[in-house]
């Protein structure tokens, strides 16, 4: 008589339980832990709602990663889980098995479900499949609020059914449920709706904020009152902020905004695209930073020479790994300012982007000594600056000793163009061949991209599809 595979027997047993809700309920207290996730998935996808509710209330893990399973537009499974949580929160004495205290609606649970699904999961030893141990006592856990984790992407003008239902449920249970969000993205949604949502979120859980919508400075000032409460924020991206005229009221708004940075003690990455309000006031924002940044991006805006001077002197840039000043015109700036800025970050800088900055030959020559000491630099882009062939050759020689530099993007030399700015393709090919000879002379394997502006083939100001100039050392015969 043949012996059936144990995993097959457990699979059959799980399906048998789902045919009889009463049998499933009575078996949950003694159901092997290793069968719980598989049976939950069967109940979830099979829409066995009552069994699903019972399993939530006996869930033997601290975390239920529902986001890896749920199809957000369909409300049935989510409603069932929330109804089960209502019952759980109302219980004075929990099931001896239940350890659930985090409902995770982020799309991050695939590893959990794949680990426990399929025949192989049943063959694991029970010791390796034990639920996560709690740090605190059962009594303390019972007093703690239930946490719901989700990433918020507010990209519609009105709330969808899922978010409306969930927020209403959370609002009615504020004392016992905390809505936690680590990543917040905003686009298109009116500020009134954003305010309603943020008033229900545990703001100190938010670690990343990204705004991709045109806001007036007054709108950003409204948002800033919430921003200041995001005490664990690490990454902030704002794009773009519109300023029609700088009035006394707008100046008050700027103070409201920059003062909130005093509360962001964990901010590491700051990205501001089209921040029209910063011209002449960059120092006001930088003074409010509480700790050194890892990455700073201020792009596509006007800054004054005083702004750039203050930036080069700010103690909060001394540990920068990434600096992006693309689209900040520096043509008339003293070249010494950029030199001092690079000296400040030469020990840590890994990525430098100076596209479309109006950098001239004399300015680039002034920063070459400091640039050549950026020993950690691995990415450098200078596209859409008007540089001569002679200075580009100097650039290649000064950066030849940088051991980590693997991505280099430069403009086509100014000799590639007619006086009217029309690209001469034949002349560009000749200059590319000359740059390759420079690389051979330097003797170090290297790949550089040369980007004409605009590209004759795609029309883009910066193009990345052209073949790079490649030099690889050949071993002696």
**The pLDDT of residue 116:** 63
Give Rg (Cα) of the chain. 29
The verdict on whether omega for the bond into residue 454 sits within 30 degrees of 0, i.e. cis, is yes
- Alpha carbon distance 80, 103 (integer Å): 13
Beta-carbon contacts of 367 under 8 Å, excluding residues fewer than 6 positions away, are 335, 338, 339, 342
Where residue 441 falls among pLDDT bands split at 50, 70, 90? Answer: very high
Asked whether the predicted pLDDT for residue 144 surpasses 50, the reply is yes
- Going from the C-alpha of 396 to that of each of 357, 418, 439, 447, 476, the distances in angstroms are 19, 24, 8, 11, 24
- Alpha carbon distance 131, 183 (integer Å): 27
- Alpha carbon distance 242, 275 (integer Å): 7
Q: 388-410 pLDDT, tens per residue? A: 999 999 999 999 999 999 999 99
Which helix (H) or strand (E) segment is 451 a member of? strand 446-451
Q: 338-363 pLDDT, tens per residue? A: 999 999 999 999 999 999 999 999 99
**The token pair that represents 101 in the structure block:** 């205290």
Lowest mean pLDDT among 47-56, 120-129, 256-265, 389-398: 120-129
Contact 299, 329 (CB under 8 A): no
Chain length of the chain: 477
Lowest mean pLDDT among 187-201, 322-336, 461-475: 461-475
Beta-carbon contacts of 7 under 8 Å, excluding residues fewer than 6 positions away, are 119, 120, 121, 122, 123
What letter does residue 118 receive in the DSSP assignment?
S
Mean pLDDT across the stretch 9-28?
58
Most confident of 108-122, 151-165, 456-470: 151-165
Asked whether the predicted pLDDT for residue 155 surpasses 90, the reply is no
Asked whether the predicted pLDDT for residue 1 surpasses 50, the reply is no
Q: 230-261 pLDDT, tens per residue? A: 999 999 999 888 776 667 788 899 999 999 99
> Reduced to 3 states, what is the DSSP secondary structure of residue 63?
strand
Residue 132 phi, psi dihedral angles, 5° rounding: -65, 130
119 or 209, greater pLDDT:
209
Beta-carbon contacts of 224 under 8 Å, excluding residues fewer than 6 positions away, are 256, 257, 260
**The pLDDT of residue 16:** 56
Q: Each residue of 221-231: b (16+ CB within 10 Å) or e?
A: bbbbebbbebe
Which helix (H) or strand (E) segment is 374 a member of? none
**The pLDDT of residue 228:** 94
DSSP 281-341: THHHHHTT--S--SEEEEESS---HHHHHHHHH-GGGTT-SEEE-TT---TTS-HHHHHHH
Asked whether the predicted pLDDT for residue 269 surpasses 90, the reply is yes
- Going from the C-alpha of 173 to that of each of 64, 89, 201, 288, the distances in angstroms are 19, 10, 13, 36
**The pLDDT of residue 72:** 53
């Amino acid at each position: 008589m043949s012996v059936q595979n144990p995993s097959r027997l457990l699979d059959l047993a799980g399906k048998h339980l789902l045919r009889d809700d009463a049998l499933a309920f009575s078996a949950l207290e003694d159901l092997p832990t290793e069968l719980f996730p598989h049976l939950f998935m069967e109940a979830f996808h099979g829409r066995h709602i009552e069994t699903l509710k019972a399993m939530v209330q006996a869930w033997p893990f601290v975390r239920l990663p529902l986001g890896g399973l749920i199809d957000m537009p369909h409300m049935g499974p989510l409603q069932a889980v929330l109804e089960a949580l209502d019952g759980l929160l109302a219980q004075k004495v929990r099931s001896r098995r239940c350890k659930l205290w985090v409902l995770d609606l982020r799309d991050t649970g695939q590893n959990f479900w794949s680990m426990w699904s399929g025949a192989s999961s049943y063959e694991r030893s029970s010791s390796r499949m034990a639920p996560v141990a709690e740090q605190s006592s059962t009594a303390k856990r019972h007093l703690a609020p239930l946490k719901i984790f989700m990433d918020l992407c507010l990209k519609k003008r009105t709330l969808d059914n899922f978010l409306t239902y969930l927020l209403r449920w959370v609002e009615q249970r504020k004392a016992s449920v905390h809505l936690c969000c680590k990543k917040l993205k905003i686009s298109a949604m009116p500020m009134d709706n954003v305010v309603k949502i943020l008033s229900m979120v545990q703001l100190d859980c938010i670690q990343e904020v990204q705004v991709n919508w045109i806001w007036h400075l007054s709108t950003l000032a409204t948002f800033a009152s919430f921003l200041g409460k995001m005490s664990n924020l690490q990454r902030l991206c704002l794009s773009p902020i519109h300023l029609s005229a700088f009035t006394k009221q707008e100046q008050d708004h700027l103070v409201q905004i920059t003062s909130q940075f005093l509360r962001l003690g964990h901010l590491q990455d700051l990205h501001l695209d089209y921040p029209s309000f910063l011209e002449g006031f960059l120092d006001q924002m930088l003074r409010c930073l509480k700790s050194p940044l890892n990455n700073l991006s201020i792009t596509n805006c006007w800054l004054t020479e005083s702004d750039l001077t203050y930036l080069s002197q700010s103690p909060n840039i001394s540990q920068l790994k990434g600096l992006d000043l693309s689209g900040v015109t520096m043509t008339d700036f003293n070249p010494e300012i950029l030199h001092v800025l690079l000296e400040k970050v030469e020990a840590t800088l890994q990525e430098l982007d100076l596209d479309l900055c109006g950098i001239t030959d004399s300015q680039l020559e002034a920063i070459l000594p400091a640039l050549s000491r950026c020993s950690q630099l691995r990415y450098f882009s200078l596209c859409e600056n008007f540089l001569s062939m002679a200075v580009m050759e100097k650039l290649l020689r000064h950066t030849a000793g940088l051991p980590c530099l693997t991505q280099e993007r430069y403009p086509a030399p100014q000799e590639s163009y007619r006086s009217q700015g029309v690209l001469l393709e034949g002349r560009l090919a000749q200059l590319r061949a000359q740059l390759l000879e420079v690389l051979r002379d330097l003797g170090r394997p290297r790949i550089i991209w040369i980007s004409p502006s605009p590209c004759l083939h795609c029309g883009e100001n910066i193009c990345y599809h052209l073949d790079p100039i490649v030099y690889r050392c050949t071993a002696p015969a």
